[in-house]
Amino acid sequence: MKHFFKVLLILFYCNTNLNANSNNDFKEGYIISLNGDTTKGFLLVQISRNASEQCVFKPNANSANTIYKPGEIAGYRYLNGKYYISKEINIDSTTKKVVFLEFLIKGIASIYYYMDNEEHYYIEKYPNGLVELTEKERTFFDEGTSGREGSHTYIMPSKYKGKLMFALQDCPSINKEIQNTRLTHKSLIKLTKDYHEKVCNSESCIIYEKINTSAKVRFGVLMGFSKNQYNFGRQLISNYGNNYQIGAALKVSNIFMFNRHINLKTNFILEKDSKSYTLSLPDGVQYSHVTYNDVFYNLIDLRSLGNPSAYLPDMKADLDVIDLKIPVTLNYDFNIKKTILTCGFGISNKIIMSQNKNFRVDDFYAVYGESIHSLLTGVIATTGIEGNWFGKHTFFVNVDYEYLTDFRSKVDNTLKLLNNQVSLQIGMYF
């Protein structure tokens, strides 16, 4: 278990010390000055909250960064991608603020998006100006009045559909679609596009939200080597034996709109244990019973015996385990020049497909009919690097730590199998 906390410490170090470096991902784009002039260059890719507060720009890849605040420029846009524009919004009834609103679609009616601690959507249409569709949930508490018993809590329903109907009232045929519209990029863009096409025949609307709006799925292959240890209910513990891996990899990106650095990974890994393990007693355990190849072994703590020569302190056995492992991790990618540093955490499942039936930890076998349970489940921590170092394919190197156990309800700590595994893997996404 101590290795698990070491890996968590490493992941925390990555998150705190490399967060600044994660902001080194620049893409082509341009800024728009207050008088309408455009300057081409490179723009920092940021999460929505940061993108609304500042624009980080440099005219070429090797020049220094220049930071623009909302109101200092009219807007900025990534090449064929997201477009941000300076707008003044109402924070509350008395406070206004200039921010960079994300321009989702431009037409007879336009839609904007902004994120601070929560998501905000706006519609703009002449002559009403900029109107926020989202509202903070308001709750009213009624302690009861004459003729009514008890107290009641009321939640004010959202008014965004009514606001949409008012803004788009010149097109009654759109009302049914408004009733099915949700406060999401996709739903509002579709509604506004359909409205524009119904009321305007002279020009098309412009959709700016085109950059990586759908999930990106990548498949790959991997091979690896690991050190694997079994702890049989704290009665018997193995050394870290060799384990060989081969499998398929899957990475799903762009699944969280609020942060494009977060992704989901799952692997399907076939593992083959080294045959030979050295099995010994854990500290504080005085004896354990093992049957191996029809021979009974009585392992005794030599320090408790007056004549230790008649007993074995440890033994070697071929466990011959073949398993299928399926880890699922949620990861954060830090962009550092042409390399991505990734850190993640998740769950892992190990399905034991075969094992040496002639190896029996007697107490385990008497209860379960097997020494190593057919399903082990636990946690995994992972860190690694990715990059297009050798052509168009993405290569990766991962280091994983897994802590797995047997979750059957009838086992107690003395009959619970624990499995520690540290793996090094290399692979490639297509």
Q: Indicate the number of domains in the chain.
A: 2
User: What domain range includes position 242?
Assistant: 216-429
Bridge pairing between strands 236-238 and 276-280: antiparallel
The pTM (predicted TM-score) of the whole model is 0.57
Q: How high is the pLDDT of residue 138?
A: 58
Does some domain include residue 423? yes
Return d(Cα 376, Cα 351) in angstroms, integer.
7
Percent of the chain with pLDDT over 70: 82
Tell me: do 96 and 184 sit in the same domain: yes
Residue type, 33: S
Residue 340: pLDDT band (50, 70, 90) is confident
Does some domain include residue 300? yes
Q: How far is CA 338 from the centre of its chain?
A: 21
Tell me: do 277 and 199 sit in the same domain: no
Average pLDDT of every residue of the chain: 84
Does some domain include residue 6? no
Q: How high is the pLDDT of residue 142?
A: 59
**Domain boundary pick from 163, 190, 207:** 207
Backbone angles phi, psi at 321, to 5 degrees: -90, 130
DSSP conformational letter for 9: H
pLDDT by residue (tens digit) across 351-410? 999 999 999 999 888 888 888 989 999 999 999 999 887 777 889 999 999 999 988 655
Tell me: do 381 and 424 sit in the same domain: yes
Contact (Cβ atoms closer than 8 angstroms) between residue 192 and residue 151? no
pLDDT by residue (tens digit) across 126-148? 888 999 998 765 555 555 554 44
Neighbours of 149 (CB within 10 A): 7
Return d(Cα 355, Cα 228) in angstroms, integer.
15
Contact (Cβ atoms closer than 8 angstroms) between residue 249 and residue 267? yes
> Quick one: average pLDDT of 205-229?
82
Contact (Cβ atoms closer than 8 angstroms) between residue 86 and residue 71? yes
Q: How much of the chain is in helix, strand and coil states, percent to nearest 5? A: 15, 50, 35
State how far the alpha carbon of 183 is from the alpha carbons of 1, 218, 404, 408, in Å: 45, 29, 41, 44
pLDDT by residue (tens digit) across 109-123? 999 999 887 889 999
pLDDT at 215 over 60: yes
State how far the alpha carbon of 71 is from the alpha carbons of 52, 88, 357, 360, in Å: 11, 9, 73, 74
Place of tokens 């477009």: 83
Q: How high is the pLDDT of residue 203?
A: 77
Tell me: do 170 and 89 sit in the same domain: yes
Give the CATH number, domain containing residue 351. 2.40.160.20
Out of 49-53, 213-217, 291-295, 344-348, give the one with best mean pLDDT: 344-348
pLDDT by residue (tens digit) across 3-42? 544 544 554 444 444 443 444 578 899 999 999 999 999 9
Which one is predicted more confidently, 110 or 48?
A: 110
Tell me: do 190 and 225 sit in the same domain: no
Tell me: do 168 and 264 sit in the same domain: no
Does some domain include residue 338? yes
